[in-house]
Amino acid sequence: MRPPAQPPPTLPVHDPRREECDGAVADDEQDWRAVILELLGQRAEGATICPSDAARAAGGERWRDRMDDVREAAHGLVADGEVEITQHGEVVDPSSARGPIRIRRRR
């Protein structure tokens, strides 16, 4: 039995960009990569995150608009060998994955 889901953590980062109009902290691929890795570092080994966890944690009020940015950053982390993209628990090629995905540290 799985423990109850917890809300995505807020990043322990003080960043002046948080003061901008919509509260976003991340605005380029390197920022999103850091957010993804930070969130994965807060989870148990083998645990996954949803791209929306990263978007909510650092995307501000318009986090939904940043989902493509998060997925793109995740693809870059796959190319670097840092993470894997999964669907239904199976590792998939991020360039062909359609629909909901999960991100986990590479095993």
Q: Where are the domains of the chain?
A: 19-105
What is the average pLDDT across 90-102?
A: 93
Asked whether the predicted pLDDT for residue 14 surpasses 80, the reply is no
The whole-number pLDDT of residue 59 equals 85
Euclidean distance between CA atoms 8 and 5, whole angstroms: 9
The whole-number pLDDT of residue 27 equals 72
- Distance (Å) of CA 45 to CA 3, 6, 69, 83, 104: 15, 16, 25, 12, 9
Euclidean distance between CA atoms 8 and 59, whole angstroms: 12
Quote the DSSP letter at residue 48: E
The whole-number pLDDT of residue 12 equals 45
In this predicted model, what pLDDT tens digit does every residue of 16-71 receive, in sequence order?
444 444 566 777 899 999 999 999 999 999 999 999 999 999 888 889 999 999 99
Asked whether the predicted pLDDT for residue 74 surpasses 80, the reply is yes
Q: Token pair of 57, please?
A: 């944690």
Dihedral sign computed on CA atoms, order 97, 81, 39, 3: positive
The whole-number pLDDT of residue 73 equals 97
Q: What CATH class has 19-105?
A: mainly alpha
The whole-number pLDDT of residue 107 equals 85
